[in-house]
């Protein structure tokens, strides 16, 4: 019986990302291969802070799937709940890198992503219950059996932080209304919800213990009970904005576990996101605590 600091549940993929910046997939000539998927990246980011992290997801039964296990272990993320789905290829994701603010994604997740084949009866509900932070995403609600599994996991939760990453991606849904319906099913079981303005538009007005709204150039707004905090963005030369949100998420897990006050936590999360935005990679770019603190100090002195 092991208790994890952080268990995340959701997407995984092989990110096949350009080695050239500022060009479209029409012009790019070569690619690197990286671990990807939002909730997976959050586990990687949390592990970088020394947190004991695991992720629940599924891959294809193929060499790309084996690579994802290697990469998870390399990042110190427990892969015991990462299982193969025969007959479905491991998803690959291409992107284009147009700094500072345009990073289109091209998902190859058809006919179905293995990570949407997470079955409720295969969950280790004891481990999920005991995890100090449990992190799920709205994408996990987009299809069955992952939807039922995600809700079953949420219902199993005991004490601790239960986070819903609003992570709303229109291409995974028939409509925003459909997403809103399932977000509203999940919200009663979580005590932290985090998303950007568009994602909160999908979620609607939610009564959650800790609400975090990422507002891009306007910084971050957080509310816990009567306490509200607004922190400005950390100025950074953006190289690749992809992964910044997951870096924020990993930092949030770390801050929640550390018991930091709201402002300190939001400043740290913001800076962690800024560090990753200033780097080309995503999972490989997740910072250690001293790197985030250096970025924070740099921002204060700027």
Give the interface with a copy of itself as residue ranges (CB under 8 A): 16, 19, 24-33, 62-64, 66-67, 70, 89, 92, 94, 96, 106, 108, 110-111
C-beta of 30 vs 301, nearer to a copy of itself? 30
Contact 56, 118 (CB under 8 A): yes
Q: Say which residues have a Cβ less than 8 Å from residue 72's Cβ, sequence separation at least 6.
A: 35, 40, 43, 44, 55, 78, 79, 82
Smallest gap from Cβ 102 to a copy of itself, in A, equals 13
| Closest among 39, 53, 246 to 135, alpha carbons compared | 39
Element (H, E) at 15: strand 13-18
Q: Say which residues have a Cβ less than 8 Å from residue 162's Cβ, sequence separation at least 6.
A: 133, 134, 136, 154, 189, 190, 191, 192
Smallest gap from Cβ 91 to a copy of itself, in A, equals 9
Smallest gap from Cβ 6 to a copy of itself, in A, equals 26
| Closest among 264, 284, 266 to 276, alpha carbons compared | 284
C-beta of 86 vs 111, nearer to a copy of itself? 111
b/e sequence 84-97, b meaning 16+ C-beta within 10 Å: bbeebbbbbbbbbb
C-beta of 63 vs 170, nearer to a copy of itself? 63
Query: Which residue matches tokens 């990042």?
Result: 75
C-beta of 3 vs 24, nearer to a copy of itself? 24
C-beta of 36 vs 89, nearer to a copy of itself? 89
Smallest gap from Cβ 79 to a copy of itself, in A, equals 14
Smallest gap from Cβ 178 to a copy of itself, in A, equals 19
C-beta of 108 vs 260, nearer to a copy of itself? 108
User: How many other β-carbons are positioned within 10 Å of the β-carbon of residue 45?
Assistant: 33
Smallest gap from Cβ 116 to a copy of itself, in A, equals 14
Helix axes 146-156, 176-186, angle to 10 degrees: 30
């Amino acid at each position: 019986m092991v208790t994890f600091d952080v268990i995340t549940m959701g997407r995984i993929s092989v990110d096949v990302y350009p080695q050239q910046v500022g060009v479209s997939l029409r012009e790019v000539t070569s690619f690197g291969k990286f671990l990807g998927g939002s909730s997976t990246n959050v586990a990687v980011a949390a592990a970088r802070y020394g947190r004991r992290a695991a992720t629940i997801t599924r891959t294809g039964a193929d060499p790309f799937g084996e690579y994802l296990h290697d990469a998870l272990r390399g990042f110190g993320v427990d892969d015991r709940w990462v299982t193969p789905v025969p007959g479905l290829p491991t998803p690959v994701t291409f992107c284009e890198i147009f700094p500072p603010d345009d990073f289109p994604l091209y998902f190859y997740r058809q006919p179905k992503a293995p990570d949407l084949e997470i079955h409720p009866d295969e969950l280790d509900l004891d481990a999920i219950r005991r995890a100090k932070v449990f992190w799920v995403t709205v994408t996990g609600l987009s299809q069955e059996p992952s939807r039922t599994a995600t809700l079953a996991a949420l219902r199993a939760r005991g004490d601790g932080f239960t986070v819903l990453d609003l992570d709303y991606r229109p291409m995974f849904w028939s409509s925003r209304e459909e997403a809103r319906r399932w977000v509203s099913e999940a919200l009663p079981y979580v005590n932290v919800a985090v998303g950007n303005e568009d994602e909160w538009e999908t979620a609607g007005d939610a009564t959650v213990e800790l609400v975090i709204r990422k507002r891009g150039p306007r910084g971050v707004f957080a509310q816990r009970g009567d306490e509200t905090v607004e922190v400005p963005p950390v100025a950074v030369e953006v190289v690749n904005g992809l992964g910044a949100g997951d870096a924020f998420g990993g930092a949030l897990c770390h801050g929640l576990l550390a018991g930091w006050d709201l402002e300190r936590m939001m400043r740290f999360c913001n800076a962690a996101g800024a560090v990753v935005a200033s780097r080309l990679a995503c999972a490989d770019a997740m910072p250690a605590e001293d790197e985030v603190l250096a970025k924070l100090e740099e921002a204060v002195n700027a």
